[in-house]
Amino acid sequence: MTGKRTMNNYEPVIGLEVHVELNTKSKMFCRCSADYFGKEPNTHTCPVCLGLPGALPYINQSAIEDCIKIGLALNCSVSPISRFERKNYFYPDLSKGYQISQYRWPLCINGQLTLDNGQVIRINRVHQEEDTGKLFHQEGQTLIDFNRSGVPLVEIVTEPDFRDVEAVRDYAKKLQQLFRYLGVSNADMERGDMRLEANVSVRKVKSQKSKVKNTSQNLKVEEELPPYRVELKNINSFRFMVAAIEYEIKRQIEALEKGEKLSQETRGWNGDKKCTYVQRSKEEAHDYRYFPEPDLPELRIEESRVKSLESSMPELPWSKNKRFEEEFKLSTAQAKILTETEELADYFEGLVELGGKEGIDAVKIANYVINQKIGAGTSVEEVLGKIKAKGEGVIGDERELEKLAQEAISENEKAVADYKSGKEAALQVLIGGVMRLSKGKADTSKLKPILEKLLKVVT
């Protein structure tokens, strides 16, 4: 692990803020289409998302439900009463002069996520807000496209629990996977569906013992946080995030070693020069003057609604991962690869179910799918056939297979009748029959057409 190397007895203290744009049909507070990407500028706006005087916001229920689902998946408690607030600042991407966000009464609080290294990252909050317009800087002018203004955005904020960059990467990847499993966002970093901000500082490690304790377990011992933190913004890929944080840790340690005092500032990442640069210093630090949004009545989230949302959620990636390990006796690494997308996980389970009937072991299937990089679209019969063919003494000879198939047909009158009456699935029974007769050695990829051919002449 990269973070375990000694850094002159310094350790990084990192917290992460992740923004994710929801893929709802309409915007957060108006009925403009939220499908803005690549569209003609300023064709998805109305008085609400343009911030025209007198326009009133109207909450999108699906967005609230998505936000709660994300919170539940991250083990948060859902606040019985939640309120929106105005976050006031002047910047051209914000037409109203404030962003409707949440501050003192977020929808979800106090969650946690367990990383691959066993560390538990505490989630401070999961709250709902709206996206801003998009700016284009051109020859001393700034052009504004408000299509993105008002698109639902969920912000997920961790406590400063990360002690190494690898953990940050794992966390961010897990969130992306979660958004896709829940179907709440495409979470495409390049498109800006998902954006990362890291708060990075470093401190002297008090003793080797406490360091080990902190990196391997949940933070039981509260240590003093550094008196400053650097906010890294504008990171649009996992690779850049890792590079920016690593650069920043090195820069800060070097500065402290030289006796410099580090201060609160916002820095961006320059991908060409591979370094971070100051965007905003402490003197310009934000003062948002949050206050409750008077145009929006509060949300009262009933326990029954939380329960029904919870039951509508799919099996989460980490639960699936664990189940695959236990149920199919896969290694952690295998289970991780196969549960990377819900699509691949479902496909694998389909293979295992069918393969099981033909006596093909789940681990064998897992190995084949992973080694051959089999995609979820590939024909199940073909894959199982190939796995079989890899085994010893596979019967691939068509005449021999026909003989076996004929035998299976005469043994399984019911399956034949079912098939004749239109039950395609009955073919699996016959395939299973052939496999039994051949002691699992028949090449399944060739069986289907042979059986179909023979069944045509059966009366």
Partner 1 sequence: MKLTKDQVKKVARLANLPLTSDEEDLPEGEAGKYSEQLSRVLEYIDQLNQVDTTGVEPTFNVSGESNIMREDTTVASLSQEEALSNAPQKKEGMFVTKGVFEE
Q: Which of 51, 62, 219, 336 binds partner 1 (CB under 8 A)?
A: 62
Closest alpha carbon to 2 in 166, 115, 121 = 166
309 binds partner 1 (CB under 8 A): no
DSSP designation for 91? -
304: contact with partner 1 by CB under 8 A: no
Least separation, in Å, of the C-beta of 56 and partner 1?
11
Cα 22 from Cα 107, distance rounded (Å): 15
For residue 107, the minimal CB distance to partner 1 (Å) is 13
Among 204, 274, 289, 329, binds partner 1 (CB under 8 A): 289
- Alpha-carbon Rg for the chain in angstroms: 28
Residues found in the chain:
459
DSSP bridge pairs for 203: 11
The whole-angstrom distance between residue 235's C-alpha and the CA centroid of its chain comes to: 17
User: Which candidate, 176, 150, 152, places its Cα nearest to that of 241?
Assistant: 176
Query: Burial level of 345, CB count in 10 A (0-12/13-18/19+)?
Result: buried
Q: How far apart are CA 362 and CA 349, in angstroms?
A: 9
Give the one residue of 136, 274, 331, 382 binding partner 1; rule: CB under 8 A: 136
Please, is 29 exposed, middle or buried when counting C-beta atoms within 10 Å of its C-beta (0-12, 13-18, 19+)?
buried
Task: Determine which residue in the list 38, 54, 259, 294 makes contact with partner 1, applying CB under 8 A.
Answer: 294
> Using the rule CB under 8 A, is 271 a contact of partner 1?
no
Q: Is 145 in the site for partner 1 (CB under 8 A)?
A: yes
Q: Rank residues 63 and 435 by Cβ distance to partner 1 and give the closer one.
A: 63
Residue 183 binding partner 1, by CB under 8 A = no
Q: Which window, 44-52, 168-176, 192-200, 402-410, contacts partner 1 (CB under 8 A)?
A: 44-52
Query: For 43, which DSSP code?
Result: -
Per the CB < 8 A criterion, the answer to whether 350 and 338 are in contact is: no
Among 37, 58, 103, 228, binds partner 1 (CB under 8 A): 58
Residue 46 engages partner 1 in binding (rule: CB under 8 A): yes
Tell which one of 54, 140, 377, 422 touches partner 1 (CB under 8 A): 140
Contacting range for partner 1; rule: CB under 8 A; set: 71-79, 295-303, 338-346, 374-382 = 295-303
Q: How many residues bind partner 1 (CB under 8 A)?
A: 50
Which residue, 60 or 445, has its beta carbon nearer to partner 1? 60
- Find the shortest distance in angstroms from Cβ 96 to partner 1: 13
Q: Is 273 in the site for partner 1 (CB under 8 A)?
A: no
Rounded Cα distance between 3 and 163, Å, is: 7
**16: which strand partners?**
198
Q: Does 264 bind partner 1 (CB under 8 A)?
A: no
| Contact pick of 8, 9, 91, 310 for partner 1 (by CB under 8 A) | 91
Edge-to-edge strand ranges of the sheet holding 85-88: 98-101, 85-88, 291-292
For the CA atoms of 30, 57, 17, 77, what is the dihedral angle to 10 degrees? -110
Is residue 50 involved in binding partner 1 (CB under 8 A)?
Answer: yes
| Amino acid at residue number 371 | N
Tokens 């996977």, located at residue? 177
From the number of C-beta atoms within 10 Å of its C-beta (0-12, 13-18, 19+), residue 224 rates as: exposed
| CB of 122 or CB of 305, closer to partner 1 | 305
Q: Which of residues 103-132 bind partner 1 (CB under 8 A)?
A: none
Stretch that binds partner 1, among 43-51, 155-163, 193-201, 334-342 (CB under 8 A): 43-51
Q: Could you write out the three-class secondary structure of 369-399? A: HHHCCCCCCCCHHHHHHHHHHHCCCCECCHH
Q: Kindly indicate which of the ranges 85-93, 109-117, 402-410, 412-420 contains the residues binding partner 1, using the contact rule CB under 8 A.
A: 85-93
Nearest to 27 by CA among 211, 123, 129, 152: 152
If the CB atoms of residues 140 and 393 are measured against partner 1, the closer one turns out to be 140
Nearest to 200 by CA among 254, 251, 156: 251
Residue 144 interacts with partner 1 (CB under 8 A)? Answer: yes
Comparing CB distances to partner 1, the nearer of 43 and 332 is 43
262 is an interface residue for partner 1 by CB under 8 A: no
Rounded least distance, CB 301 to partner 1, Å: 8
Q: Least distance (Å) from partner 1 to the CB of residue 258?
A: 27
- State the nearest-atom distance from the C-beta of 369 to partner 1, in Å: 36
Q: Does 274 bind partner 1 (CB under 8 A)?
A: no
The DSSP H or E segment spanning 306 is: helix 303-311
- 83 contributes a contact to partner 1 by CB under 8 A: yes
Alpha carbon distance 205, 410 (integer Å):
76
Write the CA distances from 1 to 122, 167, 170, integer angstroms.
21, 9, 12
| Residue 146 found at the interface with partner 1 (CB under 8 A) | yes
**With binding defined as CB under 8 A, does residue 149 bind partner 1?**
no
Residues engaged in binding partner 1 (CB under 8 A): 24-26, 31-33, 40-47, 50, 58-64, 83, 88, 90-92, 135-137, 140-146, 268, 270, 277, 279, 287, 289, 292, 294, 296-300
